[in-house]
Amino acid sequence: MLIRMPAPEHIELPNPRRLLRTTAWSMAESVGLPFGTYVAVTDLVSPDAGLLAGTAVVWLLIAARWIVTGSVTSLLMISAVVLTIQTAVAVSTGYLWMFQLQFPLANLAMCLVFARTAPTRKPLVAQLAAEVVAFKQSDDHHPGLHRFFQGATWFWAGLFLLLTLGMAVMMETEPFKLFMLLSTVVTVGLTALGAGVCALWFFAVLRRLGVGLRFTAA
């Protein structure tokens, strides 16, 4: 009797060129345009004006997206939350410690945003994967992947909590210039480390589940 083995499951991604365009536009829209505006206006006017301009740009992008598509991406909303908190805190007073406080508060907000969605059917990491790299998966077909996305979302919530605590300590122990340098280095370093850990974790889960990745032809 001939036994037919089930074909291995695959998850499809757009072809590499389309995937690159989707990712590049998502990052430019959510990070590049607001941050570029912030940097340009800061150089021309002041840091407070730069924050106000960057925040205005991100909310204009949200309004434009809502009018055109009827929806707003999670990454764009994250940028709006972070910039709004930073701007509100930084320009509320002229005290130096209030300017520094924007950084741990922004990370605490990110921690809460990730933690709020982690136990739900739509964890934030899954939403970001769908929006940034067009990765779509079904809970019914891949419950193991859903558990991974929930775990990864909790992981990022913990990472942002660690950044919050670290920056709070640095505010008290380091001079302003060193604080700014360390906060940037630590944020970039932990973000890169977190992305690497999640990528390795993701591929390990795929191997364990016997699920492959492949690109569409067009």
**Same structural domain, 139 and 127:** yes
Q: Give the pLDDT score at 6.
A: 43
Q: What distance in Å separates the CA atoms of residue 198 and residue 56, rounded to the nearest whole number?
A: 32
Question: Which domain-ending residue is among 92, 118, 143?
Answer: 92
The amino acid at 47? P
- Residue 35's pLDDT is 81
> How many domains are there within the chain?
2
pLDDT of residue 7: 42
Domain residues for 40?
Answer: 11-92
Asked if 173 and 78 sit in the same domain, the reply is no
Q: In this predicted structure, what is the pLDDT of residue 206?
A: 86
Same-domain check for residues 177 and 207 = yes
With beta carbons less than 8 A apart as the criterion, state whether 107 and 164 touch: yes
Same domain, 158 and 182: yes
Considering the domain architecture, whether residues 131 and 63 belong to the same structural domain is answered as no
pLDDT digits (tens, 9 = 90+) for 63-87: 998 988 888 888 888 888 888 887 8
Q: Which of 92, 111, 134 is the last residue of a domain?
A: 92
pTM: 0.75
Shared domain for 204 and 107, answered yes or no, is yes
Same domain, 149 and 206: yes
Q: Is residue 1 part of a domain?
A: no
Is there a domain that residue 155 lies in? yes
Question: Which pLDDT does position 96 carry in this prediction?
Answer: 61
* Whether residue 76 is found in the same domain as residue 103: no
Determine the pLDDT at residue 5.
36
48 & 99 share domain = no
Please give the structure tokens belonging to residue 217.
Answer: 């032809």
pLDDT at 27: 76
Do 117 and 205 lie in one domain? The reply is yes
Residues 205, 122, single domain; the answer is yes
- Give the pLDDT of residue 3: 40
Weakly modelled stretches of the chain, pLDDT under 70: 1-9, 12-16, 93-98, 134, 136-141, 215-218
In a domain, 5, yes or no: no
Q: How far, in Å, CA of 34 to CA of 103, rounded?
A: 17
Last residue of a domain, one of 52, 68, 92: 92
19 in a structural domain: yes
